[in-house]
Structure 1
């Protein structure tokens, strides 16, 4: 049960984090600045944003 709860929590927070990173990128923030704020390298941010679904495709 605990593992299932952790998986759901990770999915929800991951979606929220990706959404926030996408919004920051759309507002003109750089990958390094976003990465500093979320605790990731700019390359991790770049990969996360590339893997994120595009709005309207779901």
Structure 2
């Protein structure tokens, strides 16, 4: 993935990085999160499959 920073329409910085990705469905994700004692909350539009993982009892901000 490449991250680019622009200022006034001009490219001022560019950084390339690579990440390992794991794709899994909500059911598998929830099972793994539960196994670790964490909580899973759906965020954003349902069709995007976005989730927040947090420790139980820890309030999220934002």
Instruction: Compare the two structures and name the one with the higher strand fraction.
Output: 2
Whether TM-score is above 0.5 comes out as no
For normalisation by structure 2, the TM-score amounts to 0.27
More helix by percentage:
1
TM-score, normalisation: structure 1: 0.28
